[in-house]
Amino acid sequence: MRLLTSMMLAMFCNMNSHAQQLNIIPEPVSMQVHSGTLALGQDISWTTDVKSASLSLAKAQLEADCRKNITGLNTTNISLTLLKKEDSGIGAEGYLLEIDKDGIHISANKENGLFYGLQTVRQLLVTPDVPYLTIRDYPVVGWRGMMLDVSRHFFTKAEVMRYVDEIAAYKFNVLHWHLTDDGGWRIEIKSYPKLTEVGAWCVEKYGYYGEFSAPGKDAKYNYGGFYTQQDIKDIVQYAKAQYVDILPEIDIPGHSMAAVVAYPELSGTKDAVNYKVYSGEKGFMDWTDHGIVARYDNTLNPAKPEVYKFLDKVFGEVAGLFPFGYIHVGGDECAKNYWQKDPNVTALMQKEKLKNYEEVQAYFEKKVEAIVASKGKKLIGWDEILEGGVAPNATIMSWRGEKGGIEAARLKHQVVMTPNNYVYIDYVQGNKYMESKVYENLRLKKVYAFNPVPAGVDPAYVLGGQANLWTEQIFDFSKVEYMTWPRGLAVAESLWSPASKKDWPRFVEKVEQHMKLLDRDTVNYAPCMYEPDVTLQSGVCTFIPEIDGLEMHYSVDNSFPDIKSLLYKGPFVLPEDAVMLRVVSFKKGRPVGRIISIPVAELKKG
Ligand code: ACM
C-alpha cells in the first residue's frame, strides 16, 4: 500500500511537474525536481542571517508578487543564508535553492547570490504550490548589461528606476547609461552649467527621427531634460540595492553636438556659435562608403587644451557620482572631415608625429584614458578606439559585430561583447511593414543565438555581454519596454545560462508564460514572434513564421482576417488586383499577436 501510494505520488508529481513546467528565465545551470509540493501562502516568514538592509527591496518585491498571485492562507517560509564555508563552484553571484516541506531555502557565498535566488523564487510564485526542488545556479559571464540611450529621447528618473527593476529581475547587473549625444546632454555638471541649461533641450518633433524637417527660426528648444546630481545619486543607490552597477557614458569626441552648442569653444569650428542641439532633422551627417561626413562639426577638438581641461572637470564630477569602476568615453562614429581642415589639428599631427586622423583620435583617447585613470577609474569605449593604436589599459565594447572584440582580446585587452547583429535591440524585431523604420532587423530568435564568448576569443578577456537600446525612434518609456521585451529575455538567458541549457522551442514556451507576468506588472512587450515576415516575389507571397505551431490566416479583400479566413498552407499567388494583405496568427485555436496589415504597393517595393 505504501509502495502504491508513493508510486501514485511520483506519477502525480511527474504529471504535476510536467503540467506545471517551471518557467525560469534565465534557465538555471542545474535543477532537479523532487516528489512533493510546497503549498504557498500569501504571508511570508523570513529567516535570515543577513544583517544589513541590503536585501530589503528584493524582499519587498517578492512579497508584492506573492500577494498578486497566491491566495493560500498559510505562511511561506523563506530562509536566506550566507554560506559559512565558501562554495567555490558558484562564485560571487551564484546561489543554491532548495524547496522542501519546510519551505524555501536560499544560500549563497555573497548577498548578490541571495538576490539572484530571490529573483528565481519570484518566478516560481505564480501557482498555488511549487514542487520540491534543488537548484544550483550561477552565471556564465560577470558583465550582463543593458544600455539605455537617454539622449535622443529623455526618460525620467522614475522611468530609469523602473527599467532597473525590470532588468534586475532577469539577473542583469549593469545598466550602461548613454548620457550624452548630439540630441542632448543629460547629466548636471556643476563646473559647466550650460551643458544642461542649453545642451539638454531640443525641439519636440514626431515622425521618423533623422528625417524631421529643420526647426524654424522661432522653434522652441524646450524638449528634453536632465538628471540633477541628486537624481543620479538616487538612481545609483536604487540600482545598487538590486545589484545593478551603473556605467555612465560621456560620448566623445564625436556625438558631441550638445556639448559644442553649450560651449562652442570646445569646437575647432568658428561657426559652432550658431549651432543648435540636434532635434533629429534630416541631413545632419552623411554615412558614405568612405566614412562618416559631418555636415556640422559635432566633435570636441583634439588640438585644444581647453577640451582636456573640460574633460578633466567633467570626468572628475562623473567619477564622484558613479561608484562603478569604469567610465565609458564613447569614441564611436567620430567624423574627421572638420579636423582635416583645421590648421591646429595639422600642427598637432606634426608635433606628435601622427600619420592619419585615426591616430589623432587615438592620441585623444590616450589623453582621455590618463584623465579617467587620474579619477581612479578604468576607461571603456566603443571598438573604434582600437583604430590608430589603442590606449594601453582600455576595455573595448565591441559593437560593429564581433570582430572588434576578437581583435581586442588578441591584443590582450578586456572586452564586452555587444555585437549589433545579435543585441542591437533598437533594430526592427518583427514584420518590417508594421514596426518603426530602423535600417536593420533583429528578431528574437537571432538574439537568442547570441553567444557572448564567440569562437576565436580567449574567454579570459571577455568580461561579458550587453544589449544596446538606442532611442532615436523611441519617443516614450512604453516603447522602451516594447523594444526591450521579450528580446531582453533572450539576452538574459544568453548571458547567464550555459549554452548546453539553451533550447529555442522551450524558450518560446517560457516567453509565453513570462508575457503573462509582464501583463500582470503592466510592462509593455512586443508580440512580434507571432507575426510572420512576408515576402512577395514574382507575384508569389510567402509567410515566414518565427516560431513553430502557428496557424496563419489571411485576407486579400480588405477585411480583418479571423480563424475562418484563408489558411496559409504555403506560398500562394497574390490576386492581381489585391491592395491590402492582412495576416493574423492562431495557436491551438486561440488568436496570438496582432493583425498585420501590409499595403500590397509596399510589399511590391520589397
Ligand atoms: C554605436 O552604435 N554607434 C556604438
pLDDT of 309 above 50: yes
Domains 12-137 and 143-520 share a fold: no
Percent of the chain with pLDDT over 90: 91
Measured in Å, residue 171 CA sits from the centre of ligand 1 at: 24
Record the pTM: 0.96
pLDDT of 517 above 70: yes
Query: Which atom of ligand 1 is nearest the CA belonging to 468?
Result: 2
The per-residue pLDDT for 72 is 82
Nearest to 285 by CA among 233, 210, 193: 210
Averaged pLDDT, 112-119: 98
Probe ligand 1: pick from 256, 396, 470, 473, max atoms within 8 Å of CB?
470
CATH superfamily, region 143-520: Glycosidases (3.20.20.80)
The per-residue pLDDT for 237 is 97
The per-residue pLDDT for 15 is 39
450 Cβ contact partners less than 8 Å away, ≥ 6 residues apart: 419, 422, 423, 465, 490, 491, 494
Distance of CA 317 to the CA centre of its chain: 26
pLDDT tens for residues 456-514? 899 999 999 999 999 999 999 999 999 999 999 999 999 999 999 999 999 999 999 99
The per-residue pLDDT for 12 is 37
Distance CA 29, CA 485 (A): 23
- Which residue's C-alpha comes closest to atom 3 of ligand 1? 332
Measured in Å, residue 42 CA sits from the centre of ligand 1 at: 46
User: If you count them, how many residues does the chain have?
Assistant: 606
Query: Which atom of ligand 1 is nearest the CA belonging to 382?
Result: 4
The arrangement of secondary structure in 12-137, i.e. its CATH architecture, is 2-Layer Sandwich (3.30)
pLDDT tens for residues 322-369? 999 999 999 999 999 999 999 999 999 999 999 999 999 999 999 999
Measured in Å, residue 39 CA sits from the centre of ligand 1 at: 49
pLDDT tens for residues 259-273? 999 999 999 999 999
> Would you place residue 51 in the very low, low, confident or very high pLDDT band (cuts 50, 70, 90)?
confident
Ligand 1 interacting residues, C-beta cut-off 6 A:
332-333, 382, 399
Query: Which atom of ligand 1 is nearest the CA belonging to 330?
Result: 4
- Which residue's C-alpha comes closest to atom 2 of ligand 1? 399
Q: Which residues form the catalytic set?
A: 181, 255, 333
Measured in Å, residue 332 CA sits from the centre of ligand 1 at: 6
20 Cβ contact partners less than 8 Å away, ≥ 6 residues apart: 127, 131
pLDDT tens for residues 190-224? 999 999 999 999 999 999 999 999 999 999 999 99
Probe ligand 1: pick from 252, 285, 332, 383, max atoms within 8 Å of CB?
332
The per-residue pLDDT for 20 is 57
Averaged pLDDT, 552-580: 98
pLDDT of 588 above 70: yes
Measured in Å, residue 471 CA sits from the centre of ligand 1 at: 12
Domain assignments of the chain as residue spans, ordered by start: 12-137, 143-520, 531-605
Nearest to 262 by CA among 329, 204, 211, 186: 186
The per-residue pLDDT for 17 is 42
- Which residue's C-alpha comes closest to atom 1 of ligand 1? 332
pLDDT tens for residues 57-101? 999 999 999 988 888 888 999 999 999 999 999 999 999 999 999
Query: Which atom of ligand 1 is nearest the CA belonging to 333?
Result: 3
Q: How many helices (H) and strands (E) does the chain have?
A: 18, 27
Per CATH, is 531-605 categorized as 2.60.40? yes
Please state, rounded to an integer, the average pLDDT across all residues of the chain.
95
Query: Which atom of ligand 1 is nearest the CA belonging to 397?
Result: 4
Q: Which three cell numbers stand for residue 246?
A: 551603473
pLDDT tens for residues 4-43? 444 443 443 333 444 458 999 999 999 999 999 999 998 9
Measured in Å, residue 387 CA sits from the centre of ligand 1 at: 15
Nearest to 146 by CA among 448, 443, 466: 466
Probe ligand 1: pick from 182, 399, 422, max atoms within 8 Å of CB?
399
Probe ligand 1: pick from 298, 382, 387, 424, max atoms within 8 Å of CB?
382
Distance CA 563, CA 466 (A): 40
Measured in Å, residue 399 CA sits from the centre of ligand 1 at: 6
Distance CA 359, CA 577 (A): 58
With H, G, I as helix, E, B as strand and everything else as coil, classify residue 461. Answer: helix
